[in-house]
């Protein structure tokens, strides 16, 4: 473990990562249990197992980053995961809430894109917290990646 104190950017990144991990683990476990109680051990909606796995990956990344070794790959992985969350969220809504993310019943969105995206960004407090935290974490991790490359 590094003997120096973490920078404010590292602390902000860690706090944002905890928020994102808690949101995804909570939603993932809750909905996966809901599917299992309905008799589906493997849920028809693949988002929930993916939320759990990615939330656990965030926790693992936090633990590895706290050790101070090999942070740059962790930053890059975190950035890619945050982009995946944000793009996946809007793609899923644009695709008509398809249960298997790519296939399944659903209708594609037709109409103006910007009002649609804003409507889904502000769909509720959890959705807004998740998207805002994911975007902020991607920004802070990008800063750390560039700052520590110099």
Does 100 fall in a domain?
A: yes
Report the alpha-carbon angle 132-71-26, nearest 5: 40
**Do the domain assignments include residue 3?**
no
For residue 3, give both structure tokens: 């003997």
Domain residue limits at 108: 8-147
The count of other CB atoms within 10 Å of the CB of residue 79 is 18
Q: What is the pTM of this model?
A: 0.81
The 3-state DSSP class for residue 105 equals coil
Inside any domain, residue 132: yes
pLDDT in tens, 15-70: 999 999 999 999 888 888 887 777 776 666 777 888 899 999 999 999 999 998 78
Integer Cα distance of 74 and 142 in angstroms = 11
């Amino acid at each position: 473990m590094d003997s120096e104190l973490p920078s404010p950017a590292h602390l902000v990144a860690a706090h944002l990562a905890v928020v994102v991990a808690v949101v995804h683990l909570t939603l993932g476990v809750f909905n996966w249990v809901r599917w299992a109680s309905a008799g589906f051990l493997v849920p028809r909606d693949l988002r929930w197992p993916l939320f759990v796995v990615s939330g656990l990956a965030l926790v693992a990344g936090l633990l590895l980053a706290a050790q101070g070794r090999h942070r740059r790959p962790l930053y890059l992985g975190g950035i890619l995961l945050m982009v995946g969350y944000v793009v996946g969220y809007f793609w899923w809504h644009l695709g008509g809430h398809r249960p298997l993310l790519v296939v399944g019943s659903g209708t594609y969105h037709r109409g103006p894109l910007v009002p649609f995206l804003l409507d889904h960004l502000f769909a509720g407090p959890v959705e807004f917290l998740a998207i805002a935290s994911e975007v902020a974490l991607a920004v802070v991790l990008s800063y750390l990646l560039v700052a520590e490359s110099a």
